[in-house]
């Protein structure tokens, strides 16, 4: 037997044999595919798993796909109304004008039983406090484990925001802040804030194996991790004791190993049941094949070009503006997104309640760009552009985007060298500050504008390694802080529009596009929820078996980035 069955590796060797290196995963044998068809489904996404703890992630597969399956949060965001809703916290109270929060937890929420942990009690306040204090308290036994980096919450200066966390009972706790923060609950509703098992943590301390907390995950989510093969796939098995009710499918195989047209081919042949983030140029194929379905909806995301403002000549905002004027964003929309995105005029997507409709970053004006560069004596620039290899929900073809930007800048006399990078390598090299430019983006499962501004461009975000520009403006940070301390929505909108005006003037980043979220899937897959904030739970997904539709003609798969 080959494919998924033959190369299953139990999680005990997860980050030894698995992460050291692997051969390419073979396609599952037909008998195995039939087994998956009756008991689960295959979800194809291009990405790398660096950790199974969302607290320690910057973005990627763990946030977009896995977190919603393995863990629950205190709060959730309704994908249709964009409002906060209960999850593990069944209700909450806001006191002291937003400086104190009391959370009341659900009873009888079991943790997952896995090969490496059997819980003896349900979730309680100790687990929530354990999960939060791990990030906040530098003396916590788990704070420094596996690198001790918590990028999202470090960028928010979370440790400085929270004054105390107090247990009020087995199922209630109080979080007191140093000052009012209107965004606080929204951050607890992101996938970066999972609730971990304190009991599991204590077990690993006794075994002197604390590093396994982030490698052999235990949560309260609808699926538990069963097996993982680095860069190839992982298998999730149903949590039969899930507190919302038993998930409909017994297993989910997440295929990580194929990008571009390879993933589309797998969808067409039935090796994939669901394809995350299909390339925009593949939409005609997806729409015209009766065996496939396509979901699209606006997303809370942004693709942008980041300038390293600590490195000459990009420390001069006039140079940054000249480069921005040289980039033909309309061509990017046509060649990369094929009508599935809108040109970004702000770091905030238009769906945000604080979006400034009057915001204008730049316009395409190569003549003005050339004139500005000549005036500044910058006629012989050589810049390095770092580009992630994998497609993202906010940019389906990063390398082609880079090539188009390279061609645009060549027209005004700027030579750009493209440096393809991947995963942790990209993050490490960007923090060395050797780059000039980088293509990046951001997606959040929060509707609060703070989840865009502070993680990407605050001074604190430089230390958390999410601010790739290394731009630090005390005035900008002060405006963001003022927005947090106000409980009046109109006042917060006013502050966030000031923030957008500062960014339009200083231009540490050039916003490029806010894209639709897309999900392609086989005709018989039902119950998939496409959220603007990230991937939703697979608990309600099921297969409706029946007659297979047949296409009128065999579909032709074009190369990624080319119009079929």
Looking at domain 75-208, does it have CATH number 3.90.76.10?
Answer: yes
Closest CA relative to residue 89, chosen from 195, 221, 242, 197: 195
**309 preceded by a cis bond (ω within 30 of 0):** no
Residue spans of beta strands (DSSP E) within 68-204: 75-77, 84-86, 89-95, 100-105, 162-169, 172-177
Closest CA relative to residue 287, chosen from 237, 323, 333, 339: 339
Length of the chain: 564
Q: What is the distance between the alpha carbons of residues 236 and 228, in angstroms, rounded to a whole number?
A: 9
**Residue 156 in contact with residue 187, Cβ under 8 Å?**
yes
Closest CA relative to residue 184, chosen from 103, 104, 99, 106: 99
Rounded mean pLDDT for each run of 10 residues along the chain, 564 residues in total: 38 40 38 71 89 90 92 90 92 95 98 98 98 96 95 88 96 96 93 97 98 97 95 94 97 83 86 88 89 88 95 96 95 90 89 83 90 94 92 86 97 96 60 81 85 92 86 96 90 95 95 90 93 83 77 45 34
What per-residue confidence (pLDDT) applies to 431?
A: 55
Give ranges for CATH 3.90.76.10 in the chain.
Answer: 75-208
The answer, as to whether pTM is greater than 0.85, is no
What per-residue confidence (pLDDT) applies to 16?
A: 40
Give ranges for CATH 3.10.105.10 in the chain.
Answer: 301-515
Query: Around 445, how many Cα atoms within 13 Å sit in the side-chain half-sphere?
Result: 31
Full DSSP string of 316-352? SHHHHHHHHHH--HHHHIIIIITTSEEE-SSSS-TTS
Closest CA relative to residue 301, chosen from 41, 77, 489, 531: 531
Contacts of 326 (CB under 8 A, 6+ apart): 364, 366, 369, 370, 408, 409, 411, 412, 414
Q: Which CATH class is domain 301-515?
A: alpha beta
């Amino acid at each position: 037997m080959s494919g998924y069955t033959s190369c299953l590796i139990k999680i005990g060797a997860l980050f030894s044999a698995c992460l050291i290196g692997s051969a390419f995963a073979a396609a599952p044998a037909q008998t195995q595919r039939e087994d998956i068809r009756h008991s689960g489904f295959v979800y194809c996404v291009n990405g790398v798993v660096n950790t199974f703890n969302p607290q320690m992630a910057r973005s990627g597969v763990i946030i977009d796909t896995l977190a919603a399956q393995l863990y629950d949060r205190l709060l959730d965001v309704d994908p249709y109304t964009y409002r906060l809703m209960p999850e593990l916290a069944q209700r909450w109270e806001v006191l002291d004008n937003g400086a104190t929060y009391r959370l009341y937890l659900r009873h009888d929420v079991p943790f997952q039983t896995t090969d490496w942990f059997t819980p003896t009690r349900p979730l309680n306040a100790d687990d929530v406090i354990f999960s939060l204090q791990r990030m906040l308290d530098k003396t916590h036994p788990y704070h420094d484990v596996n690198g001790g980096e918590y990028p999202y919450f470090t960028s928010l200066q979370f440790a400085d925001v929270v004054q105390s966390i107090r247990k009020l009972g087995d199922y209630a706790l109080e979080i007191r802040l140093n000052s009012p923060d209107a965004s606080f609950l929204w951050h607890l509703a992101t996938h970066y804030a999972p609730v971990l098992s304190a009991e599991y943590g204590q077990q690993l301390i006794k075994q002197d194996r604390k590093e396994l907390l982030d490698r052999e995950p235990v949560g309260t989510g609808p699926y538990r991790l069963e097996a993982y093969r680095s860069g190839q796939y992982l298998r999730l098995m149903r949590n039969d004791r899930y507190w919302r009710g038993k998930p409909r499918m017994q297993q989910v195989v997440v295929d990580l190993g194929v990008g571009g047209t390879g993933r589309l081919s797998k969808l067409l042949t039935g090796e994939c049941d669901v394809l995350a983030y299909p390339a925009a140029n593949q939409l005609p194929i997806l729409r015209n094949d009766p065996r496939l379905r396509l979901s699209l909806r606006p997303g809370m995301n942004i693709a942008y070009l980041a300038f390293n403002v600590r490195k000459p000549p990009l420390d001069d905002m006039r140079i940054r503006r000249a480069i921005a004027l040289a980039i033909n964003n309309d061509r990017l929309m046509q060649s990369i997104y094929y009508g599935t995105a809108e040109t970004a005029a702000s770091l905030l997507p238009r769906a945000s309640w604080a979006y400034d409709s009057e915001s204008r970053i730049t316009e395409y004006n190569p003549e003005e760009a050339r004139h500005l560069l000549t005036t500044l004596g910058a006629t012989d620039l050589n810049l390095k552009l770092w580009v992630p290899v994998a497609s993202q929900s906010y940019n389906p073809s990063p390398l082609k985007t880079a090539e188009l930007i390279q061609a645009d800048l060549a027209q005004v006399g700027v030579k750009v060298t493209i440096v393809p990078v991947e995963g942790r390598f990209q993050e490490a090299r960007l923090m060395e500050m050797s780059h000039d430019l980088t293509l990046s983006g951001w997606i959040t499962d929060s509707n609060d504008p703070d989840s865009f501004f502070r993680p990407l461009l605050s001074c604190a975000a430089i230390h958390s390694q999410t601010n790739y520009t290394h731009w630090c403006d005390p005035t900008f940070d002060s405006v963001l802080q003022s927005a947090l301390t106000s409980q009046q929505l109109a006042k917060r909108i006013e502050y966030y529009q000031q923030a957008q005006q500062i960014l339009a003037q200083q231009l540490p980043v050039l916003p490029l596009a806010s894209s639709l979220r897309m999900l392609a899937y086989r005709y018989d897959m039902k119950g998939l929820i496409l959220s603007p904030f990230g991937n939703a739970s697979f608990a309600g997904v099921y297969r409706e078996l029946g007659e297979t539709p047949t296409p009128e003609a065999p579909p032709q798969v074009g190369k990624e980035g080319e119009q079929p």
